[in-house]
Chain A
Amino acid sequence: MEKIKRLLPLLFLFIIIAAVYRVWFGTGILSGGDLGMTFHSMYFNDYLYPFAWYWNQGVGLGGNAVSLLWIYVDFAFTKTIFGQILGLPWNIAERLAYFFPFLILGLPSSFVLAKSIFPKNPFLVASALIFLVNSYILMVVGGGQLWIFLSYAITPFVLYLFIKEINSIIDLAKWGLRKPFFIGLIFSLQFLLDLRIAYITLFAAFFYWLFKILQKRKIKDSLISLTFVFLIPGILTLLIHGFWILPTLIIGQNPLSQFGSAFTSANAVSYFSFAKLENSISLLHPNWPENIFGKVGFMKSEFLLSPILAFSSLFFSYKTKDQITKSYVLFFAFLGLIGAFLAKGVNDPLGGIYLWMFSHVPGFIMFRDPTKWYTLVAVSYSILIPFTLWRIYEWLKSKNKFSILKCKNLFLIFVGAYFLFLINPALSGQLGGTFKTTQIPNEYFNLESFFSSQNRFFRTFWLPTVQRFGLNSKDHPAISGQDLLGTYDLSSAVNKLKTNKDVLRYSSVGYLVVPYDSEDEIFIKDRKYNKDIYQKTINEVKQIPYLKQISGFGRIAVFEVPNPKDHFWSMKEGLIESYKYINPVKYIVNVKNAKKGDVIVFAENYNPKWVAINDNIQINSKQYDKLFNSFTLLKNGNYELEVYYTPQKYVDLGLAVSLATLVSIVVFFILSFKRSKSK
């Protein structure tokens, strides 16, 4: 009976997890927010080897991807393993690669932290529930922000490692480098999944380190722990991530510069500060439960009981004589408050502080969207609320006069019911995105087959923008029309296409597509689908004289662009005999009957670091038509040109550093393991 009683909370946890994430245990396609569809042909889009140039950067015309290589590596790993090697269909691959790992990592991760903080707390199950089923993470998961939720899942474990080692009284001889290296490895993994969540975890760990100093820890101990817990793992992380950090530093590229001011300006922060203090302190995501971008719901007062429960832990900690418990409660209470303060962004009170930090604190520029700081609130409450529940439960248990009523059990029922009430939208199927399966319209499959079956390079131009089920592959990159033309006004976009028909041809666009908006997210008026805009778009495009509509794609309107230019082309007929794609940063072009001064156009976004090399003679790229690369030939005859993106050499160098670091660590661990075994 006792055993069953002990298993009941676990059963409750698994039932809730299964109920909330039930759709994941089916087979339908999950898609929402940032997560689109990956057709089989798209499994080959990403490369395990990091390349400095990627075809899908720069609105589909290619661009420098050095500072984003970490995320490309993430995608490449999952698509290679689950798509290319195992050959799984996307509906299974996405579950195994992203969704199940979230639960598989998140459950033990939150348990480990909670167990290490309050080992005797019988409400550890509540920690996992609060951490994995709160309005913030449900919105992130529903929005298909894969790498954020995976990084979030291991946050408690990473924080646990930091806290554990900061607490250790460091014996240098005993410690050696094993633990710092292990922290470095795990932190590198979190860093690889998502930089921002890793930054937040590091922030929490560093705050704990400061907190320990304030608790009158010896300065010498603090400095040793700073070296072993932060400095060594930090250097290790930088070295492991050398493949993108090194070239980014050498090129001197600001990782965010390519996104423009929409990502880095103070105005952007103000715009993205959706949460107010009452939201963030209540662990209530501002978009809960509809998850429509920018649509902030009213404050749901029932969520205010969460901070009350969380911060009531302070009362119980005052009464306890255990200094460690007191210290932990105080730390996590502060962490929750700081998280709530930062998650509200520039909103009152003292919103200017966030704005100042955004401009002055290194790394803060990544937090245009302040809601990422909800992670701290979630971690904090996942520790504090179970602590409060434990203490209230114990208190009720000790009150004999209530024993007939079994108040402690009533209390548990009340708390359980309250929790279920809070997450009711998740239980009752009101959440969208990846909490619902998606039926992909047949016309998108037909379109994918039509494009993929053509063995030539061409781009597709989507007006107004690419639909989430549209094919976007390295052989057929998809261009968002409104982004390339720089206008959100339909008539203006169509006029630009009418007056300059070379825009499409020079960009190697084979087809113009007006998508069928099956997910109601493109042709929108007042946040609702508007069929008139869709129809008007088709009618306007039909007016473009040089386009020819192709039938057979149902509600998707497809128009053929006549004689689009190839990836490499020239105004001079027959100059380019052939070209060969080696990898995203290297092409071999064969020229025939070339004359000095002939020009070859390379239909990728202009970047001066593209060069064409022949017999050790380097031709630098010049801008062509304000958009593309071009090379003016320096000699006559028939010969071969190697077109190469030069920053790749820094990526190669960085990769060598990364691999050497990883191999060294593996060797170190093997030797260290053998040594400890022989002792």
Chain B
Amino acid sequence: MKLQDIIFLVIFVMLLLKRDSMWATLAGIICLFLSVPLFAFWIFFTVQHLICWKKNVLKTTGKIILTKVFN
């Protein structure tokens, strides 16, 4: 189990115990907000992140320039 899974479970259990829909909504909206930079900086991606990295390395060595497929 990863750290983020533990955090998720803890918050989820807390929300269940709290039984307050306002808090649950707030948690959901905050999650959406927090996900914005995580998606923007490609932290949520594994393979896509690697592709980006690969693209940079290869570009610097000048061997391959990846096409727009991976933009």
A interface residues (Cβ-Cβ under 8 A, vs B): 278, 281, 295, 298-299, 301, 304-305, 307-308, 311-312, 314-315, 318, 526-527
User: Is B32 in contact with A301, judged by CB distance below 8 angstroms?
Assistant: no
Most buried by B among A305, A314, A526: A314
With A301-B36, A304-B39 as contacts: A314 and B69 at CB distance below 8 Å: no
With the chains together, A304 CA to B31 CA distance in Å? 11
User: Is A299 in contact with B32, judged by CB distance below 8 angstroms?
Assistant: no
User: Is B45 in contact with A527, judged by CB distance below 8 angstroms?
Assistant: no
Known pairs A281-B32, A301-B40, A315-B29 / 8 extra A-B pairs, C-beta < 8 Å: A278-B39, A298-B71, A299-B39, A299-B45, A301-B39, A304-B39, A311-B29, A526-B69
A-B contact pairs, 25 of them (CB 8 A): A278-B39, A281-B32, A295-B69, A298-B45, A298-B71, A299-B39, A299-B45, A301-B35, A301-B37, A301-B39, A301-B40, A304-B32, A304-B35, A304-B36, A305-B36, A308-B29, A308-B33, A311-B28, A311-B29, A311-B32, A314-B25, A315-B25, A315-B26, A315-B29, A318-B25
Interface string of B25-67 (1 = CB under 8 A from A): 1101100110111011010110010000000000000000000
With the chains together, A295 CA to B32 CA distance in Å? 25
Most buried by A among B28, B29, B32, B48: B32
User: Is A307 in contact with B69, judged by CB distance below 8 angstroms?
Assistant: no
User: Is A315 in contact with B35, judged by CB distance below 8 angstroms?
Assistant: no
B interface residues (Cβ-Cβ under 8 A, vs A): 21-22, 25-26, 28-29, 32-33, 35-37, 39-40, 42, 44-45, 48, 69, 71
In-complex Cβ contact of A527 among B25, B36, B69 (8 A): B69
In-complex Cβ contact of A315 among B22, B40, B45 (8 A): B22
Q: How many A-B residue pairs have CB under 8 A?
A: 42
Please indicate the chain B residues that have their CB under 8 angstroms from the CB of A314 in the complex: 21, 25
Smallest CB separation, B56 vs chain A (Å): 15
User: Is A312 in contact with B29, judged by CB distance below 8 angstroms?
Assistant: yes
Task: Name B35's closest neighbour in chain A (CB-CB).
Answer: A304
Please indicate the chain A residues that have their CB under 8 angstroms from the CB of B22 in the complex: 315, 318
Please indicate the chain B residues that have their CB under 8 angstroms from the CB of A278 in the complex: 35, 39, 44
Secondary structure of the B contact surface, majority rule: helix
Please indicate the chain B residues that have their CB under 8 angstroms from the CB of A308 in the complex: 29, 32-33
Please indicate the chain A residues that have their CB under 8 angstroms from the CB of B33 in the complex: 308
User: Is B21 in contact with A318, judged by CB distance below 8 angstroms?
Assistant: yes
Secondary structure of the A contact surface, majority rule: helix
Please indicate the chain A residues that have their CB under 8 angstroms from the CB of B25 in the complex: 311, 314-315, 318
Smallest CB separation, A336 vs chain B (Å): 12
With the chains together, A281 CA to B71 CA distance in Å? 22
Smallest CB separation, B70 vs chain A (Å): 8
Please indicate the chain B residues that have their CB under 8 angstroms from the CB of A318 in the complex: 21-22, 25
With the chains together, A315 CA to B36 CA distance in Å? 20
Smallest CB separation, B66 vs chain A (Å): 12
Please indicate the chain A residues that have their CB under 8 angstroms from the CB of B69 in the complex: 295, 526-527
Task: Name A304's closest neighbour in chain B (CB-CB).
Answer: B36
Please indicate the chain B residues that have their CB under 8 angstroms from the CB of A298 in the complex: 42, 45, 48, 71
Smallest CB separation, A348 vs chain B (Å): 12
Please indicate the chain B residues that have their CB under 8 angstroms from the CB of A305 in the complex: 36
Please indicate the chain B residues that have their CB under 8 angstroms from the CB of A311 in the complex: 25, 28-29, 32
Task: Name A276's closest neighbour in chain B (CB-CB).
Answer: B44
Task: Name B30's closest neighbour in chain A (CB-CB).
Answer: A308
Task: Name B39's closest neighbour in chain A (CB-CB).
Answer: A301
Most buried by B among A281, A298, A305: A298
In-complex Cβ contact of A307 among B21, B32, B42 (8 A): B32
With the chains together, A295 CA to B37 CA distance in Å? 24
With the chains together, A299 CA to B45 CA distance in Å? 9
With the chains together, A308 CA to B22 CA distance in Å? 15
The 6 A-B pairs of least Cβ separation, nearest first, read A301-B39, A301-B40, A314-B25, A299-B39, A308-B32, A301-B36
With the chains together, A526 CA to B39 CA distance in Å? 27
Please indicate the chain B residues that have their CB under 8 angstroms from the CB of A281 in the complex: 32
Task: Name A313's closest neighbour in chain B (CB-CB).
Answer: B25
With the chains together, A526 CA to B69 CA distance in Å? 10
Task: Name B24's closest neighbour in chain A (CB-CB).
Answer: A314
With the chains together, A439 CA to B49 CA distance in Å? 40
Task: Name B25's closest neighbour in chain A (CB-CB).
Answer: A314
With the chains together, A314 CA to B37 CA distance in Å? 23
Smallest CB separation, A553 vs chain B (Å): 33
With the chains together, A9 CA to B39 CA distance in Å? 32
Smallest CB separation, A306 vs chain B (Å): 10
User: Is A299 in contact with B29, judged by CB distance below 8 angstroms?
Assistant: no
With the chains together, A295 CA to B48 CA distance in Å? 13
Please indicate the chain B residues that have their CB under 8 angstroms from the CB of A307 in the complex: 32
User: Is B44 in contact with A299, judged by CB distance below 8 angstroms?
Assistant: yes
Please indicate the chain B residues that have their CB under 8 angstroms from the CB of A312 in the complex: 29
With the chains together, A312 CA to B29 CA distance in Å? 7
With the chains together, A153 CA to B67 CA distance in Å? 37
Task: Name A299's closest neighbour in chain B (CB-CB).
Answer: B39
With the chains together, A356 CA to B44 CA distance in Å? 28
Smallest CB separation, A262 vs chain B (Å): 25
Smallest CB separation, A664 vs chain B (Å): 48
Task: Name A319's closest neighbour in chain B (CB-CB).
Answer: B22
Task: Name B40's closest neighbour in chain A (CB-CB).
Answer: A301
Please indicate the chain B residues that have their CB under 8 angstroms from the CB of A301 in the complex: 35-37, 39-40
With the chains together, A281 CA to B35 CA distance in Å? 12
Task: Name A318's closest neighbour in chain B (CB-CB).
Answer: B22
Smallest CB separation, B11 vs chain A (Å): 15
Most buried by A among B28, B42, B45: B28
Please indicate the chain A residues that have their CB under 8 angstroms from the CB of B37 in the complex: 301
With the chains together, A590 CA to B33 CA distance in Å? 76
With the chains together, A281 CA to B32 CA distance in Å? 10
Please indicate the chain A residues that have their CB under 8 angstroms from the CB of B29 in the complex: 308, 311-312, 315
Smallest CB separation, A444 vs chain B (Å): 29
With the chains together, A318 CA to B22 CA distance in Å? 8
Smallest CB separation, A320 vs chain B (Å): 13
Task: Name A333's closest neighbour in chain B (CB-CB).
Answer: B25
With the chains together, A311 CA to B36 CA distance in Å? 15
Please indicate the chain A residues that have their CB under 8 angstroms from the CB of B35 in the complex: 278, 301, 304
Most buried by B among A305, A308, A318, A527: A308
Smallest CB separation, B2 vs chain A (Å): 14
Please indicate the chain A residues that have their CB under 8 angstroms from the CB of B71 in the complex: 298
Please indicate the chain A residues that have their CB under 8 angstroms from the CB of B32 in the complex: 281, 304, 307-308, 311
With the chains together, A299 CA to B29 CA distance in Å? 18
Task: Name A298's closest neighbour in chain B (CB-CB).
Answer: B48
With the chains together, A154 CA to B33 CA distance in Å? 33
Task: Name B22's closest neighbour in chain A (CB-CB).
Answer: A318
With the chains together, A298 CA to B28 CA distance in Å? 22
With the chains together, A496 CA to B38 CA distance in Å? 54
